[in-house]
């Protein structure tokens, strides 16, 4: 690395939580940070300016989906991902490794890469470590990810071992293929909930000296306790001076628990996907906006929320928009949820700086832990949105 791109400037005295600043080519990011997911180049139904107004500093896009449509050549010819998406802040691109899990019925994993049958028209698509890296170089994101093998949960040990060895081998190939020094390249630690494999993968990847490290392969059905245990074991093995990213974990209680273990970056489709389905996050727990109890409710979704949904509309009005199929309903609920997540991250950072995070986080997790067990429109819909 030619410059220091990540600085930790505050730590919690009673946990591993920390605040930092991540410097990219398109601006800085205050951590811990949550990245909204714009899989195909946009957060569904939200203008880039509206996304910025939620407090978001970085967004995520996906290599596999952008490769299919519109194609890397088009994005590159139109000025790169920032110009194409209209988002001038930092962007992270996932390599496509998660689609090995989410589109498992449409791919075949080999030692050298993965052959997908396009979920659009069935045409064959080959992704391997060098091509996934080259595509991300050409897309022009600020942070790009190594190509990895994300496994399901539960996963047979022999399959998990093979996935870890592939992930390690592919990471070295990504490092060799990386050609854009303006982009940060992150390695991804795999291993399911098997802690010795997590250690094996971590040791191999940290020896390669990546710009940052991600913990992948969680939030695939293992549950809150197993996610926390795996994160608690893995995060301290990663270099203190590099950013740590927990991929795909997005329930509020899960985020706060992972921050306790020293995680800096998060992404998840939950706030936008659930917003489109009339599920709104609030400090006092989620509400389902289609319920008849809100038919004449004149209160906003959340009283102290500064988002346009809460400042302008009542629960009754937003319920009406959903129930008659007006697109404004999903848009407003999505904006609210994204704002809720950014306010949560801001509060996390403030409590760490004030030395109050440990006590606050325990209360928050206890209050919101039940949300992780609710029916949050999971499984197939999540795969379709990945």
Catalytic residue set: 94, 267
Complete DSSP assignment for 38-57: -TTSS-TT--HHHHHHTT--
238 in Cβ contact with 213 (< 8 Å): yes
Enter the DSSP assignment of 36: E
Name the strands in the sheet holding 91-94, side by side, starting at the edge strand that comes first in the sequence: 33-36, 265-268, 244-246, 212-215, 184-189, 143-145, 91-94, 59-62
Rounded Cα distance between 373 and 140, Å, is 38
Contact 191, 200 (CB under 8 A): yes
Distances (CA, A) of 236 to 202, 206, 230, 328: 10, 12, 11, 44
- Residues 124 and 375: their CA atoms lie apart, in Å, by 34
Q: Confirm if 82 and 26 have CB atoms less than 8 A apart.
A: yes
């Amino acid at each position: 690395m030619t410059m220091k791109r990540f600085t930790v400037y505050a730590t919690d005295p009673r946990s591993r939580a920390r605040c930092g600043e991540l410097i990219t080519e398109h601006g800085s990011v205050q951590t811990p940070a949550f990245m909204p997911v714009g899989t195909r180049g946009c957060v569904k139904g939200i203008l880039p300016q509206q996304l910025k107004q939620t407090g978001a500093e970085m967004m995520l896009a996906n290599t596999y989906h952008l490769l299919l449509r519109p194609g890397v050549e088009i994005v590159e010819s139109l000025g790169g991902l920032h110009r194409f998406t209209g988002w001038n802040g930092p962007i992270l691109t996932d390599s496509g490794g998660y689609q090995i899990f989410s589109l498992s019925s449409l791919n075949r994993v080999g030692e050298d890469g993965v052959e997908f049958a396009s979920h659009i028209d069935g045409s064959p698509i080959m992704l391997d470590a060098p091509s996934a890296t080259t595509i991300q170089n050409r897309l022009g994101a600020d942070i790009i990810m190594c190509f990895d093998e994300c496994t399901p949960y539960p996963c047979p040990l022999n399959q998990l071992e093979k996935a870890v060895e592939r992930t390690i081998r592919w990471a070295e190939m990504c490092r060799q293929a990386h050609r854009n020094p303006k982009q940060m390249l992150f390695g991804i630690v795999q291993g399911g909930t098997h802690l010795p494999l997590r250690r094996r993968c971590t040791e191999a990847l940290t020896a390669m000296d990546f710009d940052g490290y991600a913990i992948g392969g969680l939030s695939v059905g293992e549950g809150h306790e197993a996610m926390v245990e795996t994160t608690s074991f893995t995060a301290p093995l990663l270099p203190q001076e590099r950013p740590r990213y927990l991929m795909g974990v997005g329930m509020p209680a899960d985020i706060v628990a992972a921050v306790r273990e020293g995680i800096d970056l998060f992404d998840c489709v939950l706030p936008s996907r659930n917003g489109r389905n009339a599920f709104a996050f609030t400090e006092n727990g989620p509400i389902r906006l289609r319920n008849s109890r809100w038919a004449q409710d004149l209160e906003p979704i959340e009283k102290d929320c500064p988002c346009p949904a809460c400042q302008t509309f009542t629960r009754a009005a937003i319920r009406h928009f959903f129930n008659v199929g007006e697109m404004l309903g999903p848009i407003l609920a999505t904006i609210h949820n994204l704002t809720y997540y950014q306010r949560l991250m801001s509060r996390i950072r403030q409590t760490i700086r004030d030395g109050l995070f440990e006590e606050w986080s325990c209360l928050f997790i206890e209050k919101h832990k039940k949300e992780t067990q609710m029916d949050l429109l999971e499984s197939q819909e999540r795969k379709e949105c990945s």
